[in-house]
Amino acid sequence: MTEFSNILVVDASKLARMLMKKTILKHKQDCNVHVAGSVEDAVKLIDNTAIDMLITSLVLPDGDGVEICNHVRANQHYIPILVVSGDVDNRVQERLMGADVTDYLDKSHGKTGLQFFIQGILSPKNQVDGHVLYVEDSRVVAHATKKVMANHGLTADHVLTITDAIELLGTEKEAVEKYDVVLTDYYLKDNETAQWLIEYIREIQQINKIELPLVVMTGDENEKNQKQILKSGANDLVLKPVDNDVLIKKVQFQIRFKKFQSQHKK
């Protein structure tokens, strides 16, 4: 089995569930796709199965899909969560979307958008170019990681501190235009943590997860602390010791997804 052995799809529409399952199996045949049509059914399945990815709509017959996201974060290991809904943009802009969500996809993007997400995270094929704001307090680690990123078409502005990162970001508009993703170690020298940078981007600059994704590297195995990083505004986590293949896959996925969302807003 793969790192995505069990995928849960939740949607009130039986047809939508069938189409999503078919799309997933097209790109990843060696996985189990579980389906549910309500919050209650999804929660029961989560309580009895260790799932590796959740795809859920928001409007369900017995509640809101965000309830399922919250339940996953409280009861499962860390997994990517995709919300697919016709109300995604409004919820994100009004800051009503749960912070437990990894990524969002508007239903107006249709089957193409879902296929893009599924292929991007399950079986990425094409290299994607992008510019990264990279925060790492070890020059040796940074040098090696920048070489890995460069080999995959990624350029990076490397800084040692959160203060330097904030200075490079500039205004909200400049940050969104300049960088495709922010990659940062969580624990830095002089008691700095990525929490400061996350709060600056999400709370002060008011830049949401779609406009500027954040990927955080952490060696903290405490799941409660990992969940808190996500709740504060990170899109995804890379656990240490860092697997470079996983790192590149996650960074490139966020870049692909940002560009896809941006193109469909024009």
**Span 249-262, pLDDT tens digits:** 889 888 887 887 77
Helix (H) or strand (E) holding 135: strand 130-135
Residues ≥6 apart with Cβ < 8 Å to 22:
none
Taking residues 57-84, report their average pLDDT: 86
Q: Has residue 98 got a pLDDT over 60?
A: no
Secondary structure class of 204 (helix, strand, coil): helix
173: its two tokens: 């508009």
pLDDT in the model for residue 144: 96
Q: How confident is the model at residue 108 (pLDDT cuts 50, 70, 90)?
A: low
Crossing angle of the two packed helices 14-27 and 110-122, in degrees rounded to 10:
40
211: its two tokens: 């406009």
Q: Has residue 112 got a pLDDT over 90?
A: no
According to CATH, the topology of domain 6-122 is Rossmann fold (3.40.50)
pLDDT in the model for residue 59: 87
Specify the CATH number of the domain 130-243: 3.40.50.2300
Check if the beta carbon of residue 123 is closer than 8 Å to that of residue 24.
Answer: no
Q: Work out the number of other CB atoms within 10 angstroms of the CB of residue 110.
A: 11
Peptide bond into 241 cis (omega under 30): yes
Dihedral angle over CA of 174, 179, 183, 185, nearest 10: -30
- Fold matches, 6-122 and 130-243: yes
* Average pLDDT for the chain: 85
With 0.75 as the threshold, say if the pTM is over it: no
Parse the chain into domains and list their residue ranges: 6-122, 130-243
pLDDT in the model for residue 1: 39
Check if the beta carbon of residue 75 is closer than 8 Å to that of residue 47.
Answer: yes
Q: Has residue 103 got a pLDDT over 90?
A: no
Nearest to 235 by CA among 193, 171, 183: 183
pLDDT in the model for residue 96: 42
Check if the beta carbon of residue 218 is closer than 8 Å to that of residue 171.
Answer: no
**Span 226-243, pLDDT tens digits:** 878 988 889 888 989 998
**Span 193-220, pLDDT tens digits:** 999 999 999 999 999 888 999 999 999 9
pLDDT in the model for residue 191: 93
